[in-house]
Structure 1
């Protein structure tokens, strides 16, 4: 832990600027441009910023997105023109804006692509707050595409143009798919850069008590792709609570926050938990940051609660954070159940030849039953018998007692990377997760779901406290734990992920987990 024993100042007071420091101070992802502040120390306005941060990654990344979006819309117009030529050849009629290819090319390759870019911009699709993480960027792209279709339709109606619905649909769908694909690829490139080089990341100063700051540190560093790098902790309760405690980043106290931000090269201040408990303190900090280009974020004491459940409800100027209850019933839940049953039934029919091949491989590897049936705990604590392909020798349960001290995980599960009870063909099944395929039978019977918490054995003890909450939903073939590390996770981390899924479930989240599962299975991450 690093101590800072500089002069004590009020954390919300702006430090006096040394007029001798006029040259830019450069850091990894941005640079500061320092100017003389006004005599009263109050920023003039957003156009006359006294200490301005110039991003080194956001502008090039945005330029790349604009170029990719432009190429995507041009590609969609080319696809539509190809479709148009084939249609004209067969039906000999005009399909888009008046007669003549010149007018079509003008609208298809100039007006429409530029219109796409303008609408994407006005919908906030290039806002750096939404780039690189989460689904908000893609939602705004979809919203922009709907706006484009509405604008084209309104324009055609107003001008009484001969407009083909097929051509409009082709342009719109093609452009949307190409834009989403290109942005997904650009995001992957950004994530790789953030993981391996640290470029394109935001450097954060955490402000609060040490436990609150460390909790936020743990949360934001779980995913390097998020691009949030805590570089310092500013304690609001002094060093007494931090003495003798090892911290992952330097700890400061009694410092002006803005001067500390400049010193460590940060561009974001995260106010943690109760750091802003004094009335008006957070507001004054926001005033201080006006015109500096430093982002201010607040991390409330509501960990593991997703955005859709959190809403701001202003009452008489007081912004109240409203947290909705988890949605574990209703139409969405019925759709999830129906999707599970249909997908499981179709899946069993499609992969039946693969199941037969695996069954033959197991019988040839080790005489005994093809399937392994074990009692697991399901929805509301009800037990059921899970279906799995057998991957261990028939005497595996008897041999487990001699291997207990070699367990490589904590909690209720027994795991070994080199388990001698697994035969060679079974190891291949585990590495590819194909031993889990028979659980489609459990999904078809309604005992499991495609996505949900991991099903745990019924003989591993009582499920009390926080762990019992995971029984509010049916266990799943895959889940948040599986796409986040599987067997490499600790028991506490696995439980945290399961509870996060229970509290923040949605159909969109299920589809996202299913998509991520494909990549995890192909990489064989944490499978043993």
Structure 2
């Protein structure tokens, strides 16, 4: 597994952890250079954060209810009762929808999706009640109040998440974990937690399922060996969760024994699925007595949700082409007056099912860039079949600025409108890349390539080939409309704070 996900070894990963940890046993480094304690009660801190969410949710609902009451006469009426009941039911649905469940908050799109789904259910229910009882004066609440409240709730969660990520820099997290497993599994899980988990999980210790050999670096974070030391490891680092990074040497019985032993310590058990490329919505549990079965839905590459995705592409790309017309004109003039050659650059790319199409970009290089490529091959800094050069001499002065902020890719909106591409999808590959595909890499071509995607918000050119392929394959099989909206939002942030764009 370690070979499949990159060459960074166990020592390298834990050495990087040291950069964020001033003292392994009791102190955590911060971006400010101040040493702060990481040994706090994660459970109490987590409960405090959930209370903050609950209070801010309540204040938003109270504001929406107060605005609804402002248009109603000050007397006890059915309309007033309806508004109060709507706010209470809304608050109840936010609880029943588990919008503040600690497994959902802080990371990923699930938290936002649950807020939107809960609000939509309440709005639909109250609209039905209003029509059923023929209530007057509630139209504004249903048509304006609920949508406005939903936007405010999502924005509020985003603001709190930003605060949460800042707290993570000081060693605070929603859960302190001990990662248990064999060395190569621990290596991969630690890497992914460092990259993606942010404030969700703080790595407090490691427990190697096997003999002690110090491979993972005891001097960096507390490291233990042997499952017989499980309880001691959890108590030593005050962890509230244990992440089982992969199959244990003792098989299923070892995992069952581990979970039973942790009951006394009130420690949560989190098991990393071996289905690393399958997202939660495709996984469901169907228990048969004594045999819990995990059902994995087949990925769908056609159907109604793809039609909705295409409609969204057409609407948003059409609006973008009209709204960005002045920007297009300004960029075109800058290119025209700064260097010789056409404003646009076109190139053959491979789309869905291997169908070729011509992609359009603003020209960011000199006219004879393709002819100069041969002599630059030896300086290639890219991985796999990709050619990348951070200080590429073929890039013009204006082109460097366009590439930094991804503005050179704006003409691809036209490709989206035509149907060659989608707003969100895998990176559009060159024909030479497709020729080098091995194994299941060609699954990237099962859906339209995207103007943006997971590759763009996770480092772009800084990604190695294996990670780029992994992200694309993950998107192809697990994409959702909510996820697409999240990627678009994160793309805007990446454009303002570029990373890996050259």
TM-score by length of 1: 0.79
Stretches of structure 1 that go unaligned for 5 or more consecutive residues are 3-25, 32-53, 86-93
Partner residue of 2:63 out of 75, 96, 99: 75
Matches within 5 A, 1:232-271: 232-239=205-212, 249-254=221-226, 255-271=228-244
Secondary structure of residue in 2 paired with 1:68: helix
Distance 1:250 1:404, change over 3 A: farther
**1:480 matched to which residue of 2?**
454
Distance 1:298 1:525, change over 3 A: same
Partner residue of 1:305 out of 265, 269, 278: 278
CA distance in 2, matches of 1:134, 1:420: 39
Structure 1 position 465 matched with structure 2 position 442: no
Asked whether the 8 Å contact 1:483–1:516 carries over to 2, the reply is: yes
Distance 1:164 1:190, change over 3 A: same
**2:482 matched to which residue of 1?**
508
Asked whether the 8 Å contact 1:204–1:228 carries over to 2, the reply is: yes
Asked whether the 8 Å contact 1:96–1:162 carries over to 2, the reply is: no
Secondary structure of residue in 2 paired with 1:320: strand
Secondary structure of residue in 1 paired with 2:243: strand
Cα deviation, residue 360, structure 1: 2.2
| Matched positions, count | 465
Secondary structure of residue in 2 paired with 1:386: strand
Cα deviation, residue 268, structure 1: 1.1
Structure 1 position 187 matched with structure 2 position 197: no
CA distance in 2, matches of 1:401, 1:488: 22
**1:428 matched to which residue of 2?**
401
**1:98 matched to which residue of 2?**
77
**2:320 matched to which residue of 1?**
347
Q: Which moved more, 1:512-521 or 1:408-417?
A: 408-417
Partner residue of 1:63 out of 37, 44, 51: 51
Distance 1:288 1:95, change over 3 A: same
CA distance in 2, matches of 1:161, 1:333: 38
Distance 1:245 1:132, change over 3 A: closer
CA distance in 1, matches of 2:349, 2:272: 37
Distance 1:75 1:475, change over 3 A: same
Q: Which moved more, 1:371-380 or 1:225-234?
A: 225-234
Distance 1:367 1:147, change over 3 A: closer
Q: Which moved more, 1:438-447 or 1:113-122?
A: 113-122
Cα deviation, residue 152, structure 1: 6.1
Distance 1:363 1:140, change over 3 A: closer
Distance 1:232 1:379, change over 3 A: same
CA-to-aligned-CA distance 1:15-42 (integer Å, 9 cap, x gap): xxxxxxxxxxx973544xxxxxxxxxxx
CA distance in 2, matches of 1:480, 1:137: 19
Asked whether the 8 Å contact 1:271–1:298 carries over to 2, the reply is: yes
TM-score by length of 2: 0.83
**1:295 matched to which residue of 2?**
268
Q: Which moved more, 1:185-194 or 1:57-66?
A: 57-66
**1:50 matched to which residue of 2?**
none
Cα deviation, residue 501, structure 1: 0.8
Partner residue of 2:426 out of 425, 449, 453: 453
Matches within 5 A, 1:127-526: 127-145=101-119, 148=122, 163-169=136-142, 170-194=144-168, 196-239=169-212, 249-254=221-226, 255-275=228-248, 278-290=251-263, 292-460=265-433, 461-526=435-500
Cα deviation, residue 465, structure 1: 2.0
Cα deviation, residue 411, structure 1: 1.9
RMSD: 3.2
CA-to-aligned-CA distance 1:300-345 (integer Å, 9 cap, x gap): 2111211011111212221122222111111111222233234333
CA distance in 1, matches of 2:270, 2:314: 42
Q: Which moved more, 1:420-429 or 1:335-344?
A: 335-344
Stretches of structure 2 that go unaligned for 5 or more consecutive residues are 1-9, 12-35
Asked whether the 8 Å contact 1:371–1:388 carries over to 2, the reply is: yes
CA distance in 2, matches of 1:482, 1:329: 24
